[in-house]
Structure 1
């Protein structure tokens, strides 16, 4: 019987070791797998490379990882906003490396990894510092930059519902990078608000098929609060 359900976030991410590359879904706080990140912090892994849309908000999610000194490099499109103070401090102190990738290129490079492509050509970045040292090509009277796919050891994503096979559906804009990251990582771990029986999800609305998901863990606000209370007692 295939059952990909994990009993807790900490167990679900328990094999993530020092030096791993991790894709983390989310657009700002929308779709951020906060509980999986909390489990990752509890596990103690360091020297991580994080691939995410931005470099964290406030005190939770990616920001919490950076605050704890667990991230050595981040690949993202939007590293600074008003509440990205932990990234800002770490970057100014020379404690974290930044690879800046335009948002469309970030999505396209992750998609390319999931599709098994060797490289893509994109017009974004041509003629700028981001294109320095990269192959360029003129195609149909337009200039392009060659970019390589972005792969990762793990992807941590958040969905609305899932089943024990790992089929996932998302809630509105919380979907964002989750589906393409699930296809580009060797191991995808999804947190869901509801774990439903097999057959409860209409195949027509499943966004991420279970073949791309290796683990799924149910998280609700109540369950998360109980877990934190249990760890504290």
Structure 2
């Protein structure tokens, strides 16, 4: 039987996410956010989740909406507080969510380490701060370092530009951000794409995420923004 990782819908692709799962969600700010997958996760109903993301949601949609539903037990991120991160702020201040704050470079490297099979790494970032409390430290060549552990996930939800039925992916500009490393660090990677192409249509030299790291693929419509800032289906 030929390999075909294409699913009919985002809901079908996320139907088996259990309570208590660790879920990575790609994106940097609003660039490359897999909004359709996040919305499907909300509808799917899984609870007590650990979310790994660059921030803690914006406004009232996407990850912020997942937080508002009180479905997240813990979040691992770099920028939990922004001007419009009011849902996280309220949950954290009331003790309803746990936060693991990770400097952005450390976050990316901890995710990459999981995908590369690295058991841990030493970094100078965070040494001498509360972020290093309880962690092993070591002097290397006259400089102090902190031992950081890899971050593994049960699922990674990412957004790409195009892919084929084997799951090979290419991205659009800065929408690439955390997607490639998250795909490597999860047991199940679910990717949305705007275009599904025939095998061989993507030059192997331009493949960013090889299909071996992708288990499920869903095609979604592109959403364009009008001059007034409103979204419309492209």
TM-score, reference length from structure 2: 0.93
Runs (5+) with no aligned partner, structure 2: 224-234
1:124-158 CA-partner distances (Å, limit 9, x unpaired): 00000111111000011111000110000000000
Secondary structure of the equivalent of 2:37? helix
Match of 1:108 in 2: 109
Secondary structure of the equivalent of 1:79? coil
Q: Where do residues 139-154 of structure 1 align in structure 2 (5 Å cutoff)?
A: 139-154=140-155
Match of 1:18 in 2: 19
Secondary structure of the equivalent of 1:37? helix
2:201 aligned with 1:200:
yes
1:34-89 CA-partner distances (Å, limit 9, x unpaired): 00111111111000000000000112221111011111100000000001111111
Runs (5+) with no aligned partner, structure 1: 223-233
2:99 aligned with 1:98:
yes
Match of 2:37 in 1: 36
CA distance in 2, matches of 1:34, 1:90: 21
Greater than 4 Å deviation, 4+ residue runs: none
Secondary structure of the equivalent of 1:45? coil
CA distance in 2, matches of 1:64, 1:193: 23
Secondary structure of the equivalent of 1:15? coil
RMSD over aligned CA atoms reads 0.8
Deviation at 1:196, TM superposition (A): 1.0
Number of equivalent positions = 222
Match of 1:184 in 2: 185
CA distance in 1, matches of 2:146, 2:204: 38
Deviation at 1:221, TM superposition (A): 3.8
Match of 1:59 in 2: 60
1:93-140 CA-partner distances (Å, limit 9, x unpaired): 211100000000000101110110111000000000111111000011
